[in-house]
A = this chain, B = another copy of it.
Amino acid sequence: MMSRRYLSAPAAGLAMLTAAFSAAPAPADMLVDNVDGITLGEEGEVIRFVALRVDDDGKVAEIFERGDDLPRDVDYRLDGEGRTMAPGFIDSHLHVMGIGFGALTLDLSQTASLDEALAAIARFAEENPSRPWILGGGWNQEQWGLGRFPTAAELDAVVPDRPVYLTRVDGHAGWANSRALERAAITAKTADPDGGRIERLANGQPSGVFVDAAETLVTRHIPAPRPAERDLALSEAQKLLHAQGVTAAADMGTSIEDWQAYRRAGDAGTLTLRIMAYAGGVEAMDIIAGSNPTPWLYDDRLRLNGVKLYLDGALGSRGAWLKEPYADDADNTGLPLLDPAQLRNRMSRAAIGNFQLAIHAIGDAANAEVLSAVRELQETYTGDRRWRVEHAQVVDPSELSQFGELGLIASMQPVHQTSDRVMAEARLGPQRLDGAYAWRTIAENGATLALGSDAPVERPDPLTGMAVAISRVDDAGEPFGGWRPDETIERERAFAGYTMNGAYAGFAEGRFGRLLPGERADFVLLDVDPLMANERNLRDAEVAETWVGGKLVYRRDSQ
């Protein structure tokens, strides 16, 4: 009998978790066996395996197929208990610090009444005595059956000592207490700003609710987070993402403050998420990275790849830039946020330093403009550029093929389709839906489809993303048979979108995204096989364990 040292949960799991979050060296070599292993190969083909050896640098040393002899002399053996082992998921579009700060603020979205909300606010304030402001969101007076907005006085009754500011579920209004009004010096004399409204009591005093542009009257007084809060937010974001099986992510709109938090974690050995960062504009790009993208730092855990630019807004607020007016707003086509010269100037400024471009384009006019700009710029900026279009939600059907012709990365978020469906039909009318959320057509035209969540806008859950990608139905199974089901994609394509394509989209192929020898041993253990499971099973599945660079970063049973 050979000696086998199995790790048994939860005791060993906790010990490993501790190790994973310290700066300790990676464990010595390890064999993970008794798994149904899946990965995509060099050519994107599915490879199945039964065991995987991790070397002492935390990289994949070997994978073993059924019938192979397994090595006997390894330092650790991990029993996969028959689970599916897959590459750690890559989310190609999210906001790391937004996820983290969201986790640190109060979520009122599940409250059913004003009283319930006030109790939650009081409890949160009590549990967070050192927070100078109480911040949160998700409230909805309709859900409470209140029939009116809540008031500052109601908030004062539960938090009299500190300013409070809570955003409405749609982000279009905020609810403040009297301390917040004092800080902002808002009185009965304060006028409504353009594009905004201060809700008022019968006596003309501000009631405590601020709509649209009036929100900034208060929000500009909320102090910027301290570095320690940023560090905490990053830590929370990592935990949340690892619990969803996410081991790497493209961070869209990185600021210098965000970047410094990532570096602090990297320097301290607590950076467990692989972050492919896209600076929030060219100034942020300059100060973060200098003249060129940074090297891969911290054993492939951090790189400033390029820059995120916004070309338009979103459909919901009719900010997406369309070729023809909105179906539900005949005078409005939305607006570009950059004129053609500004867009090309910023793209050139990035491309000259070999920074990658990631351009937010939602409306068909915005997507057409990106296609045109890339076509022009690639004459000058040749080579392997991997121009990214973020969202690519509504594309003129006649232009869909250009995504492939130009070799673009289409960075798309499946769950936006189910969340947006009813709104998108209203905004666009039936004519333009052929080019909306057109995953299959874009992929079959030869573009690289990199999938993500846009978290914290949606939950960063790749299994649900895959469920939607293969079905185009929402959590309630609606609409039956899927919305415009021609644009569903195959399981393998969805899986690639959350693994190897996400790596390619961030110039990380060969580093992570597949479980092939030489790549980082980033993997998940799952109770479902994403290449076999149906939509419902994928949506309901949970991640059992998440490993990054051969170190455990999440175990369900130890939470």
Does A231 lie within 8 Å of B291, measured CB to CB?
Answer: yes
User: From A296, which residue of chain B is reached at the shortest CB distance?
Assistant: B267
Does B256 lie within 8 Å of A290, measured CB to CB?
Answer: no
Task: Please measure, in the bound complex, the distance between the C-alpha atom of A361 and the C-alpha atom of B289, giving whole angstroms.
Answer: 35
A window 225-272: CB within 8 A of B = 226-228, 230-231, 256-257, 260-261, 263-264, 267-268
Residue from B228, B287, B291 in contact with A290 in the complex, judged by beta carbons closer than 8 Å: B228
**A426 adjacent to chain B (CB < 8 Å):** no
Residue from B226, B231, B290 in contact with A264 in the complex, judged by beta carbons closer than 8 Å: B290
Shortest C-beta distance, A173 to chain B (Å), equals 32
Shortest C-beta distance, A149 to chain B (Å), equals 37
Q: Name the B residues within 8 Å of A297 (CB-CB).
A: 267
**A552 adjacent to chain B (CB < 8 Å):** no
Interface centre among A230, A257, A263, A295 (most CB of B within 10 A): A263
Does B287 lie within 8 Å of A267, measured CB to CB?
Answer: no
Residue from B228, B288, B291, B295 in contact with A228 in the complex, judged by beta carbons closer than 8 Å: B291
Does B295 lie within 8 Å of A227, measured CB to CB?
Answer: no
Q: Name the B residues within 8 Å of A445 (CB-CB).
A: none
Interface centre among A227, A257, A264, A297 (most CB of B within 10 A): A227
**A286 adjacent to chain B (CB < 8 Å):** yes
Q: Name the B residues within 8 Å of A401 (CB-CB).
A: none
Shortest C-beta distance, A391 to chain B (Å), equals 30
Shortest C-beta distance, A489 to chain B (Å), equals 38
Residue from B230, B256, B294 in contact with A267 in the complex, judged by beta carbons closer than 8 Å: B294
Q: Name the B residues within 8 Å of A294 (CB-CB).
A: 264, 267
Q: Name the B residues within 8 Å of A290 (CB-CB).
A: 227-228, 230-231, 260-261, 264
User: From A230, which residue of chain B is reached at the shortest CB distance?
Assistant: B290
Shortest C-beta distance, A262 to chain B (Å), equals 11
Shortest C-beta distance, A236 to chain B (Å), equals 16
Residue from B230, B263, B268, B287 in contact with A257 in the complex, judged by beta carbons closer than 8 Å: B287
Shortest C-beta distance, A267 to chain B (Å), equals 5
Q: Name 19 interchain pairs, CB-CB below 8 A, sorted by A.
A: A226-B286, A226-B291, A227-B286, A227-B287, A227-B289, A230-B290, A231-B290, A231-B291, A257-B287, A260-B287, A260-B288, A260-B290, A261-B290, A263-B263, A264-B289, A264-B294, A267-B294, A267-B295, A267-B297
20 further A-B contacts with Cβ under 8 Å, apart from A264-B289, A267-B295, are A226-B291, A227-B289, A227-B290, A227-B291, A228-B290, A228-B291, A230-B290, A231-B290, A231-B291, A256-B256, A256-B287, A257-B287, A260-B287, A260-B290, A261-B290, A263-B263, A264-B290, A264-B294, A267-B294, A268-B295
A-B CB proximity, top 6 nearest: A227-B290, A228-B291, A227-B291, A264-B290, A267-B295, A227-B286
